[in-house]
């Protein structure tokens, strides 16, 4: 059965409008909320949404504030908690529109951080989470920046140099470079809030994370170290947790040639927990 596509906007904290899209099945077996990564947008998950629809799941997606078609200063966030609270807005919407349906969250990269942090801040809201290439620790390359005061350089631009490392598929890389909704740069403050202060907060609270979770990572990820997922897996309080490292895959495991294998792994995991 064909999914129904809808678009809407939600007003989040600071009066920021979030762009939301829905791929709705008539009688979904489950609902998956997708949280995208740094500098990208929810539209890059069309293939994933189509596959989830084929599995019988409805899909809710949104552009993080300062990204894509959402409002807010480009590549900027005042406080990392805003990203987590924005995700709760979407969960609340999905819950209201899908009473008694199991809700799952899939977060990739920065979205993996948001999902994991959501799990700490908003326990008991979801049936489980899938975290893909999640920035769930302070990255070793950034660790030396912890404790620095970035207020004077808050809006200094950091170039988006991720494209060549996202996937082994040259078509994906080219599409990423040419996508007008992908940010060409982000701010020092977003880096410091999400990838330093936020990641440290998450690390300090790993033990309180208790959701059922499937933690996925590409073994050749050059953007977020696979050690992030290994550390998260080892330290969280979840009794139901699973870690899969895909040998040879780059950062965007959902955009690698092996993506169907990854999606089927997610499908099987959700089916056991819905």
Which active-site residues does the annotation give?
109, 221, 251
Burial 238-249 (b: 16+ CB within 10 A, else e): beebebbbbeeb
| Nearest of 33, 3, 2 to residue 20 by alpha carbon | 33
Give me the residue label for tokens 């942090």. Answer: 117
CA-based radius of gyration for the chain: 17
Pairwise CA distance, residues 91 & 102, whole Å: 11
Assigned token pair, 185: 């740069």
| Nearest of 148, 110, 138, 120 to residue 200 by alpha carbon | 138
> CB–CB of 146/138 below 8 Å?
yes
């Amino acid at each position: 059965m064909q999914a129904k596509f809808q678009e809407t906007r939600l007003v989040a904290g600071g009066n920021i409008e979030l762009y939301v899209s829905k791929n709705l099945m008539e009688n979904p077996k489950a609902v998956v909320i997708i949280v995208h990564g740094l500098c990208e947008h929810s539209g890059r998950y069309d293939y994933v949404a189509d596959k989830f629809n084929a599995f019988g799941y409805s899909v809710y997606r949104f552009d993080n504030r300062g990204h894509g078609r959402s409002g807010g200063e480009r590549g900027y966030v005042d406080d990392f908690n805003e990203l987590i609270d924005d995700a709760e807005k979407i969960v609340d919407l999905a819950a209201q529109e899908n009473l008694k349906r199991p809700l799952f969250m899939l977060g990739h990269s920065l979205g993996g951080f948001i999902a994991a942090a959501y799990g700490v801040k908003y326990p008991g809201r979801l049936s489980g989470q899938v975290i893909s290439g999640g920035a769930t620790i302070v990255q070793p390359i950034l660790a030396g920046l912890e404790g620095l005061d970035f207020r004077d350089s808050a809006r200094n631009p950091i170039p988006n140099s991720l494209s060549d490392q996202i996937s082994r598929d040259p078509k994906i890389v080219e599409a990423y470079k040419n996508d007008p909704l992908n940010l060409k740069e982000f701010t020092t403050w977003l880096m410091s809030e999400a990838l330093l202060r936020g990641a440290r907060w998450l690390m300090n609270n790993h033990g309180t994370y208790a959701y059922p979770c499937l933690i996925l990572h590409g073994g050749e990820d050059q953007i977020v170290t696979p050690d992030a997922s290994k550390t998260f897996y080892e330290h969280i309080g979840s009794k139901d947790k699973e870690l899969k490292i895909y040998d040879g895959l780059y950062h965007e495991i959902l955009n690698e040639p092996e993506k169907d294998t990854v999606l089927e792994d997610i499908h099987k995991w959700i089916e056991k927990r819905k």
